[in-house]
Amino acid sequence: MAGALKWTEVAQRQHGIVSRAQLAALGCTTDAVRHAVRTERLRWLSPRVLCVVGSADTARQRAMAAVLDTSDGCVALWSALALWGLPLWRLEPVHVLTPRPPHRGSPHLGIVHSTLRRLDTDVVEVDGIPVTTPARTLLDLSLRVRPAKLEDICDDLLRRRLMTPAALREVAARLPENSRTPGYRVLRRLSEARPDGYVPTGSGLERRFERIVEEAGEAPFTRQVDIGDDEGWIGRVDFADRRLKVVVEIQSRTFHTTISDRRRDAERISRLRAAGWIVLEITEDELLEHPDRVVAQVRAARRAARLATAA
């Protein structure tokens, strides 16, 4: 197969994936490609993309295939968040953004979105896979997610230093002036409220807890409170109602799942309870899927604290 060394090197850099267009550019004829398929060196994934037989079948390989299945495509939207390493988001199904209308007449390996406003600077690579920058990803999501969720994603990107306030302002400046599109207005408001040096407080889960409590009409908790006992400092808790001595700890999948995490949490919670604090452990799933349970737990804890104080 003509250019065999070259195409294998290209495929190796692309998670075992190579496009028909790339093979043609390397001088591989149609007969040569057919021979590679017949001898089980390559395998068709679509009329436009081939996979090296025996290469690892991973989510990133499938994302690469979905990108090469389009013209100048890149991973975008929710898939881009996953590729940038944000928790709670999944790479698949792979969303792809292309500046051209997608190929017609055959199914695609990803969910394809087309745009005429994608700049070259909107695309970078993560692990060799073309992906929209965090700021461009936020711009695309502004038309598809609720304002509160967009703000959570925005601050998560800033907190992880994947995006700067300057990059956020730059992408907001590209929005049509006087646009009545709700998502664009929210994005512009977010950029104006986050000057250089802005540091988001707490995690997205903590902000969600605050929002749930506020919407339920409950008094707010104080965030990040240091608590001690007769033996000294116990630790810094996520939230505390100092008057009623109620503590809320947010147990995320990312930071509270290992054996050592659970052991440290148990020791700290035991000391807090021994010091007279009511401790609520709110899970990530409860915050995301069952806010009514969160409100019920908060109200029950405060009710118990008032009864204990009265007694």
Asked if 170 and 220 sit in the same domain, the reply is no
- Determine the pLDDT at residue 114: 87
The answer to whether position 143 is within a domain reads: yes
pLDDT at 3 over 80: no
Phi, psi of 295 (to 5 degrees): -60, -45
Q: How far apart are CA 8 and CA 279, in angstroms?
A: 58
pLDDT at 121 over 60: yes
Asked if 15 and 82 sit in the same domain, the reply is no
In single-letter form, the type of residue at position 2 comes to: A
In single-letter form, the type of residue at position 140 comes to: D
pLDDT at 1 over 60: no
pLDDT at 104 over 70: no
The two three-digit tokens of residue 287, written as one number: 């915050």
pLDDT at 239 over 70: yes
- Please give the residue that has the higher pLDDT: either 1 or 23: 23
Query: Helix (H, G, I), strand (E, B), or coil: what is residue 16?
Result: coil
Asked if 180 and 267 sit in the same domain, the reply is no
- Span 278-310, pLDDT tens digits: 999 999 889 988 999 999 999 999 999 999 988
Q: How far apart are CA 170 and CA 255, in angstroms?
A: 33
- DSSP letter string over 189-237? HHHHT--TT----S-HHHHHHHHHHHHTTPPPPEEEEEEEETTEEEEEE
Show which of 192, 226, 250 is a domain's final residue: 192
The answer to whether position 272 is within a domain reads: yes
The answer to whether position 198 is within a domain reads: no
Q: Which residues pair with 74 in a beta bridge?
A: 97
Share of the chain above pLDDT 90, in %: 61
Asked if 85 and 47 sit in the same domain, the reply is no
Could you tell me the pLDDT band of residue 260, with boundaries at 50, 70 and 90? low
Quick check: bond before 130 cis, omega within 30? Answer: no
Phi, psi of 305 (to 5 degrees): -65, -40
Asked if 52 and 164 sit in the same domain, the reply is no
Q: How far apart are CA 282 and CA 247, in angstroms?
A: 10
pLDDT at 155 over 70: yes
The two three-digit tokens of residue 10, written as one number: 């290209």
Show which of 192, 222, 242 is a domain's final residue: 192
Q: How far apart are CA 128 and CA 64, in angstroms?
A: 8
- Determine the pLDDT at residue 288: 84
Asked if 161 and 144 sit in the same domain, the reply is yes
pTM exceeding the 0.75 threshold for the entire prediction: no
Asked if 291 and 253 sit in the same domain, the reply is yes
> What's the rounded mean pLDDT across residues 199-209?
75
Decide: 73 and 130 in contact? Cβ < 8 Å.
yes
- Determine the pLDDT at residue 116: 77
Asked if 227 and 290 sit in the same domain, the reply is yes
Could you tell me the pLDDT band of residue 6, with boundaries at 50, 70 and 90? confident
- Determine the pLDDT at residue 229: 87
The answer to whether position 107 is within a domain reads: yes
Q: How far apart are CA 191 and CA 194, in angstroms?
A: 5
Q: Which residues pair with 283 in a beta bridge?
A: 251
Decide: 70 and 107 in contact? Cβ < 8 Å.
no
CB atoms within 10 A of CB 10: 17
- Determine the pLDDT at residue 106: 67
pLDDT at 162 over 90: yes
Q: Residue 271 maps to which CATH number? A: 3.40.960.10
pLDDT at 101 over 80: no
- Determine the pLDDT at residue 293: 96
- Determine the pLDDT at residue 113: 92
Q: How far apart are CA 29 and CA 27, in angstroms?
A: 6
- Span 125-138, pLDDT tens digits: 999 999 999 999 99
Three-class secondary structure assignment of 159-176? HCCCCCHHHHHHHHHCCC
- Determine the pLDDT at residue 262: 72
- Determine the pLDDT at residue 201: 60
Mean pLDDT, the chain, integer: 89
- Determine the pLDDT at residue 269: 92
Number of domains in the chain: 3
Residue listed under structure tokens 């007769």: 230
The answer to whether position 199 is within a domain reads: no
The answer to whether position 197 is within a domain reads: no
- Determine the pLDDT at residue 45: 93
Which residues form the domain of 22?
Answer: 4-56
Asked if 179 and 214 sit in the same domain, the reply is no
pLDDT at 120 over 60: yes
> What's the rounded mean pLDDT across residues 211-229?
91
Asked if 262 and 218 sit in the same domain, the reply is yes
The two three-digit tokens of residue 114, written as one number: 């087309």
The two three-digit tokens of residue 210, written as one number: 């605050």
- Span 263-274, pLDDT tens digits: 778 888 999 999
The answer to whether position 93 is within a domain reads: yes
Asked if 269 and 174 sit in the same domain, the reply is no
Q: How far apart are CA 310 and CA 302, in angstroms?
A: 12
Asked if 252 and 162 sit in the same domain, the reply is no
Show which of 123, 158, 192 is a domain's final residue: 192
